[in-house]
Amino acid sequence: MKKIFALFMVLPLVAVMISGCEKEKEDPSVKLGAQANTTIPGFYSVSLDKTYTMSQAADNSASIDIFCFYEAETGNNIALASPGSGITGIFTGDDMPDNWSIKNTTYFFLTTLTQAQFEAVQNGDALIETSHDSANARRKAKDVQVGQVWSFKTQSGTYGLLLATAVTQGANGSVTFLVKTK
């Protein structure tokens, strides 16, 4: 009887210890919403692997490397850019990137890597850096499509690859991608 009582005393303690442990991110995907998407944050910090709403991003502008936006008229459709890309007229309000004092610039390059090649790459691999073509990189990833692998280089010098896994067009659309960095 004492063993059963001891077991019932220990089980809640073990449950508390397990629930208190920090869990690893279950879904490695990053999902960003375009400018009119009110349910999915649209701003991303590569170094922190964290998404932000526009108001949160304005308070953390030094950490923001990538945002999602939609613009059909110029063929950008769902696109990725950064606060330093010079994109204006997309976001509105006091917290829009146009008003930020710190505007990091990230450069993007559409690679010829396949999804299988992306999946074979590990964080830190040299291919992440060598896939980036600085001479042909641009300040936005225009018309992002599922299956595309984009290389990027943040202002702080982090190289990365991202694989687009889902795209929903429109100002309230979104893009989902996987990221590997060096």
Q: Could you read off the pLDDT of 109-124 as tens digits, one per residue?
A: 999 999 999 999 999 9
Q: What is the mean pLDDT of residues 66-86?
A: 96
Any idea what DSSP says for residue 155? T
Look at residue 14 and tell me whether its pLDDT is greater than 60: no
Look at residue 22 and tell me whether its pLDDT is greater than 50: no
> How many beta carbons lie within 10 A of that of residue 92, not counting itself?
11
Look at residue 11 and tell me whether its pLDDT is greater than 90: no
CB 78 within 8 A of CB 68: yes
Q: Could you read off the pLDDT of 125-155 as tens digits, one per residue?
A: 999 999 999 999 999 999 999 999 999 999 9
Look at residue 3 and tell me whether its pLDDT is greater than 70: no
Q: State the pLDDT at residue 7.
A: 42
Backbone torsions φ then ψ of 9, nearest 5 degrees = -80, -35
Any idea what DSSP says for residue 61? G
